[in-house]
């Protein structure tokens, strides 16, 4: 029996173990950090010979399984804030629609690709850099004086905090232990939705820092809630891509999701073993690595000057 599998929509054959391994790696990140992994998996699939459009769409399909598995695991651990997740999701859908329109206008102007790539690098560099610096500082502070592990350092009331506190319709989010206006998660969800649509990703790696730093949610709840939101985003993307572009390769997604669901479970357990700041530091390193890879792609002369239309 051959260990190579023919992917009917991708139109090529790939080693089963390689696909399973890639799925496992991305699932691990999903369970560990609450990110969908699309920003990492899609380039990896393209590297092993999957056409870009099929890679992006099939990746969404496998993230549905990984986030179902991860979300279920986090739900059992009490880490999903459904109230916050639903509000962010509504904002995300609105933002996604606005972002898609924005991209259509940019494409008509001919600048879309430039804006997408530069947005990607700036977002990854700023999020990754800030998370890296902040989590490193927190880890240093935690080591110096004896502060209780669960104690949160009270941030100084900034202009943003004062603005947020004055917004109407304040409500409690008991699972996250925070009080915010109804509009804050809606506005932030919209913002992430716009960015995610521009960059063509699920937005997990932007949503996680937004929840941590702007919504002040505890890291473990952030991961579960992010997975809840990603699940619905990817369901929508998978159905739309299948219907409009015929680019979802279910066989590819199936092997990836078998690997990723196992990886997600391992990730969810590792997540509980690691401290919030350690998780943030690890995610920051991965985000910065992807940023460096993208920057190299922008600066180094490509091997091929032509590529098939429709990919990232």
Partner 1 sequence: MMRIKRTGLITILVVLLVGMSFSHGAEIEKKPVLHVQPNKIHIGSFFKGQKVKIFGYVPVSWENIAIKICGSRHDVALKRKGKVGVLWMNVGTVEVKHAPNFYLVATSANINQLAPKPILDQTEIGYEALAKEIELHSTVPGDSPEFLFKHFVALKEKEGLYSILPKRITFNKAENKNLKAFSLELIAPAKIPPGEYKVTLYGFDNGQLMGSLESFFHVELVGFPAFCRNLAFKHSLIYGILAVVLAIIVGFLMGVVFGSKGGH
Span from 163-171, 190-198, 207-215, 295-303 in contact with partner 1 (CB under 8 A): 295-303
The closest of 124, 118, 30 to 299, measured between CA atoms, is 118
Residue at token pair 């972002």: 99
Q: Which of residues 115-144 bind partner 1 (CB under 8 A)?
A: 117
Task: Please pick, from the candidates 155, 157, 177, 297, the single residue that binds partner 1 as defined by CB under 8 A.
Answer: 297
Q: Which one, 140 or 269, has the nearer CB to partner 1?
A: 269
Of 66, 73, 50, 34, nearest in space to 235 by CA: 66
Q: Rounded distance, CA 43 to CA 203, Å?
A: 16
Task: Please report which helix (H) or strand (E) contains residue 83, including its range.
Answer: helix 82-109
Radius of gyration of the chain (CA): 19
Between 68 and 97, how does the x/- string for binding to partner 1 read (CB under 8 A)?
A: xxx-xx--xx--------------------
Task: Give the whole-angstrom CA distance, residue 34 versus residue 27.
Answer: 10
- Report 2-21 residues binding partner 1 (CB under 8 A): 2, 4-6, 8-9, 11-13
Residue 251 lies near partner 1 (rule: CB under 8 A): yes
Burial grade of 152 (CB within 10 A; 0-12, 13-18, 19 or more): exposed
Bridge-based pairing of strands 4-7 and 12-15 is antiparallel
At closest approach, how far in Å is the CB of 160 from partner 1? 32
Closest distance of CB 92 from partner 1, Å: 18
Residue 305 C-beta: closest distance to partner 1, Å? 5
In the complex, the residues that contact partner 1 under the rule CB under 8 A are 1-2, 4-6, 8-9, 11-13, 49, 61-62, 64-70, 72-73, 76-77, 113-114, 117, 235, 238-244, 246, 248, 250-251, 253-254, 257-258, 261-262, 264-265, 269, 297-302, 304-311
């Amino acid at each position: 029996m051959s260990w190579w599998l023919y992917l009917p929509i991708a139109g090529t054959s790939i080693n089963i173990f390689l696909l399973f391994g890639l799925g496992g790696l991305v699932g691990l990140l999903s369970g560990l950090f609450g990110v969908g992994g699309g920003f990492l998996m899609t380039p990896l699939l393209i590297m092993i010979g999957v056409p870009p459009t099929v890679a992006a769409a099939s990746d969404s399909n496998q993230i549905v399984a990984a986030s179902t598995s991860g979300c279920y695991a986090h739900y059992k651990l009490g880490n999903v804030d459904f109230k916050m997740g639903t509000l962010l999701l509504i904002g995300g859908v609105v933002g996604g629609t606005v972002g898609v329109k924005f991209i259509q206008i940019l494409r008509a102007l001919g600048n879309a690709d430039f804006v997408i790539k530069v947005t990607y690098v700036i977002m990854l560099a700023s999020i990754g850099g800030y998370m890296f610096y902040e989590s490193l500082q927190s880890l240093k502070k935690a080591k110096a004086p004896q502060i209780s592990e669960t104690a949160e350092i009270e941030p100084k009331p900034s202009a943003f905090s004062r603005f947020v506190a004055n917004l109407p319709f304040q409500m409690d989010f008991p699972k996250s232990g925070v009080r915010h206006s109804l509009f804050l998660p809606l506005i932030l969800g919209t913002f992430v939705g716009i960015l995610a649509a521009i960059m063509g990703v699920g937005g997990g790696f932007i949503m996680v820092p937004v929840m941590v730093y702007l919504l002040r949610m505890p890291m473990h709840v952030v991961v579960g809630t992010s997975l809840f939101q990603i699940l619905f985003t990817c369901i929508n993307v998978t159905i739309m891509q299948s219907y409009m572009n015929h680019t979802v390769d279910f066989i590819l997604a199936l092997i990836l999701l078998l690997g990723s669901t196992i990886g997600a479970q391992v990730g969810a357990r590792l997540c509980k073993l690691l401290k919030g700041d350690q998780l943030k530091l690890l995610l920051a390193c991965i985000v910065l690595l992807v940023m460096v890879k993208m920057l190299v792609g922008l600066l180094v002369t490509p091997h091929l000057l032509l590529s098939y239309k429709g990919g990232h």
